[in-house]
């Protein structure tokens, strides 16, 4: 079945550091890929998405590229801020099934 694996946290970085959170997936078809972010005490919200191979999603300085050959969708940001501290979830969904398949989430802590 479909699955999503993302790096375990917490990930602790200093402000202005470069961020990578790894995400790999297995899927039988051609899924859409998502990153959602959960700020403390809030629900999840969409950060970015990509719908086909080689697409790059971007938002708020974050980027992720849909790599079909490596079945990956790694999240990157060039210079993190304290306000980026949150839990980040990688997810996929196929057109034939509206169920979102989730990674376990990665907690990101940014220190000033």
Partner 1 sequence: EAQVTQNPRYLITVTGKKLTVTCSQNMNHEYMSWYRQDPGLGLRQIYYSMNVEVTDKGDVPEGYKVSRKEKRNFPLILESPSPNQTSLYFCASSSMTGGEAEAFFGQGTRLTVV
Q: Which stretch binds partner 1 (CB under 8 A): 17-25, 31-39, 59-67, 73-81?
A: 31-39
Report the residue from 58, 67, 76, 94 that binds partner 1 according to the rule CB under 8 A: 94
64 binds partner 1 (CB under 8 A): no
Q: Which stretch binds partner 1 (CB under 8 A): 18-26, 29-37, 62-70, 71-79?
A: 29-37
Using CB under 8 A as the binding criterion, the count of chain residues that bind partner 1 stands at 22
**Given the structure tokens 């790999």, which residue do they identify?**
24
The first and second tokens of residue 81, run together, are: 């801020």
SS (H, E, C) 12-79: EEECCCCEEECEEEECCCCCEEEEEEECCCCCEEEEEEECCCCCEEEECCEEEECECCCCECCEEECC
Residues forming the site for partner 1 (CB under 8 A): 31-32, 36, 42-46, 49, 51, 89, 93-96, 98-100, 102-105
């Amino acid at each position: 079945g479909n699955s999503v694996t993302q790096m375990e946290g917490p990930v602790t970085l200093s402000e202005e550091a470069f961020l990578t959170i790894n995400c790999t997936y297995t899927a039988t078809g051609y899924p859409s890929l998502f990153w959602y972010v959960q700020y403390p005490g809030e629900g999840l919200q969409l950060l970015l998405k990509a719908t086909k191979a080689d697409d790059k999603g971007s938002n708020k300085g974050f980027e992720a590229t849909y790599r079909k050959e490596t079945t990956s969708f790694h999240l990157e940001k060039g210079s993190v801020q304290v306000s980026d501290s949150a839990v980040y979830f990688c997810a996929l969904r196929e057109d034939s099934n509206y169920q979102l398949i989730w990674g376990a989430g990665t907690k990101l802590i940014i220190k000033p």
